[in-house]
A and B are shown apart, each in its own frame.
Chain A
Amino acid sequence: MTYFNQFHKEASERKMRKIEESKQSPMNSVDAANYMKRNVEMASRM
């Protein structure tokens, strides 16, 4: 993997770790769909 700079490397690796860790507590698919829809609604008001 080639990174643009040190920030890109550190931030990407940290976020990949977070996503892997979050899989330990899986989200119910209905809750996940509602969460995604809620985010779209929030974004439309920004």
Chain B
Amino acid sequence: MEHVFDLGTPGPSGNENDTYVSNDVIYKVNNLLNSGSIISLFEKVRIHNEIFPDTFYQLHAFTGFDGRTIMPILRQDLVKDAEPTPQIAIDTYMAALGFNREDVVGRYSNTDYIVWDLIPRKVLRDRDGDIFVVDAEIKKK
């Protein structure tokens, strides 16, 4: 994909992603800074979709700089009418999924996976109290 601005209106950017939004879809242009490689990113996406299927990711396209870098573009449905979740509610939600809280804030594990960086900015809660993890660092143990 040559023109990422065609994806939509620019949203907030993070360490690893520039975001664009259009038609209730968030497009995340991923620079692989956290994942390190496309394979690692796809593995993270696979696990994310297993643990958090309501905020699943799909591969949309690739962009980058010719002959130098490649950046996958992921798409995710926009979660509307929700706000950042207090850390204690994230702890409770992850416990309900069977994860144990570790000593580091926002870090959880079960027998198979470690999930970390679950902080209010990355977890939304709607008016009914339902919690949506929109972004997480995850790896298999």
Residues of A within 8 A of B (CB): 1-2, 4-5, 7-8, 11-12, 14-16, 18-19, 22-23, 26-27, 29-30, 32-33, 35-37, 39-40, 42-44, 46
Contact call B84/A32, Cβ cutoff below 8 A = no
Residues of B within 8 A of A (CB): 8-12, 19, 21-24, 26, 50-55, 77-84, 86-87, 96-98, 110, 119-121, 124, 126, 130-132
> Mostly helix, strand, loop or mixed at chain A's interface?
helix
Contact call B54/A40, Cβ cutoff below 8 A = no
Contact call A37/B50, Cβ cutoff below 8 A = no
Pick the contact of A5 from B50, B97, B124 — CB < 8 Å? Answer: B97
Contact call A27/B11, Cβ cutoff below 8 A = no
